[in-house]
Chain A
Amino acid sequence: MKVKSRSSVAQYLADSLMISKSDKDDLIKKTAYWLYANKKNRELNYLIKDIRYFLAIKYNYQIVYIKSSRDLSKNEKDNIHNKLKAYFNTDLLEIIYKVDTNLIGGIIIESPTESLDFSVKHKLDNFVKNSESF
């Protein structure tokens, strides 16, 4: 029996979620079995990334990670939500917020297709890099 590639499994899962609206628990179980059977446990993160990618490309379903140095207020979150909806031109938007104090300030927006770093840490890192090249 031919082992299915991670990409094809991700595509199947994306389709299952969006079209057939399969039971999520059942899909998770199937995915876990596939990973275990094919000894691909370590590829879980890549599989999730691939699913996000197919959802974004095929259905414009955006799952976006937002990293900030502090917990954002509801107003800020709403503002970000609205801005990103407009930016990606979609109502299918899911935002996952994370706090990383190393950022000092600002935010990082990670969509399946692009990553935008507006953090203070990133600016400082750029400053260090530029000063090294002088």
Chain B
Amino acid sequence: MIHIFAAQQSTEAEATGIAAFGLDIKSFIFQLITFTIVVLFLKFFVFNKFFKVIDERKDEIKSGIQNAQESEKILLKTKQEYKRLIDSANNEASKIIDEARVEAAKILKEIENTATKRSEKIISEAQLSIDSEILKAQKELKKENAKLVSSLTARIIREKMNDEIDKKIIESALR
């Protein structure tokens, strides 16, 4: 409607000055004021709110990004800490395993040594016992043998002994 009205007025002022360019000053001013009002209206009632929302959103996004970055940093840091802890735990575990292996080898060696010593001692004692038993048996055998020989000899001498022989023995003793 304003445009129609302006166009009508421009047709009427066609003849002189600026009118020669088809520009109606009144209409232009009127449009300028209208435009300014519209702009101010938009500025105060629309754009400010709009930009405020945009700014808030922008701040939220920025804050979100910062949070995300912080989270990422924390995550990275946590990952690094986790890795460090895992490495440390691995190292500690390896160390413990190595120590356990060394200790186990040491204990095994000690057990082997003890078992060897014990078995050697048992063998030695058994050998000594056997030797002792053999010696004892030999001694007993000798003793029995001597007794037997003595007994047999005594019997033979008794059979062979007579007064004459005995007399000679006594005379021999008294010399």
Evaluate whether A118 and B169 lie within 8 angstroms (CB atoms) in the complex, with A128-B147, A131-B146, A132-B146 already known. yes
- Find A68's partner among B142, B147, B150, B170 (CB 8 Å cutoff): B170
- Indicate whether A120 reaches chain B with its CB closer than 8 angstroms: yes
- Indicate whether A83 reaches chain B with its CB closer than 8 angstroms: yes
Residues of B close to A69: CB separation below 8 A: 161, 166
Q: Which stretch of A16-24, A37-45, A99-107 is in the interface?
A: A99-107
Q: How far is the CA of A79 from the CA of B158 in the complex (A)?
A: 24
Q: How far is the CA of A118 from the CA of B120 in the complex (A)?
A: 54
- Find B167's partner among A76, A116, A128 (CB 8 Å cutoff): A76
- Find A104's partner among B147, B149, B154, B163 (CB 8 Å cutoff): B154
Query: Which residue from chain A places its CB closest to the CB of B147 in the assembled complex?
Result: A128
Query: Which residue from chain A places its CB closest to the CB of B173 in the assembled complex?
Result: A118
Q: How far is the CA of A78 from the CA of B143 in the complex (A)?
A: 41
Q: How far is the CA of A116 from the CA of B173 in the complex (A)?
A: 9
- Find A76's partner among B142, B150, B170 (CB 8 Å cutoff): B170
- Total CB contacts across the A-B interface at under 8 A: 61
B11 to chain A, nearest CB (A): 170
Residues of B close to A68: CB separation below 8 A: 166, 170
Evaluate whether A105 and B157 lie within 8 angstroms (CB atoms) in the complex, with A69-B166, A131-B146, A132-B142 already known. yes
Q: How far is the CA of A131 from the CA of B72 in the complex (A)?
A: 106
- Indicate whether A57 reaches chain B with its CB closer than 8 angstroms: no
Total residues of chain A contacting the partner, CB 8 A: 23
Closest 9 CB pairs of A and B: A118-B173, A131-B146, A128-B146, A105-B166, A106-B169, A128-B150, A83-B174, A124-B150, A105-B169
- Find B166's partner among A80, A83, A106, A116 (CB 8 Å cutoff): A106
| Contact of B139 with A132 in the complex, beta carbons under 8 Å | yes
Q: How far is the CA of A124 from the CA of B153 in the complex (A)?
A: 8
Total residues of chain B contacting the partner, CB 8 A: 23
Residues of A close to B153: CB separation below 8 A: 124, 127
| Contact of B158 with A104 in the complex, beta carbons under 8 Å | yes
Q: How far is the CA of A132 from the CA of B147 in the complex (A)?
A: 9
Q: How far is the CA of A111 from the CA of B139 in the complex (A)?
A: 36
Q: How far is the CA of A68 from the CA of B149 in the complex (A)?
A: 23
Query: Which residue from chain A places its CB closest to the CB of B167 in the assembled complex?
Result: A76
B-contacting residues, A31-58, CB 8 Å: none
Residues of A close to B157: CB separation below 8 A: 104-105, 120, 124
Q: How far is the CA of A128 from the CA of B167 in the complex (A)?
A: 25
Q: How far is the CA of A69 from the CA of B173 in the complex (A)?
A: 14
B-contacting residues, A78-134, CB 8 Å: 79-80, 83, 104-107, 116, 118, 120-121, 124-125, 127-128, 131-132, 134
Q: How far is the CA of A127 from the CA of B171 in the complex (A)?
A: 22
Residues of A close to B142: CB separation below 8 A: 131-132, 134
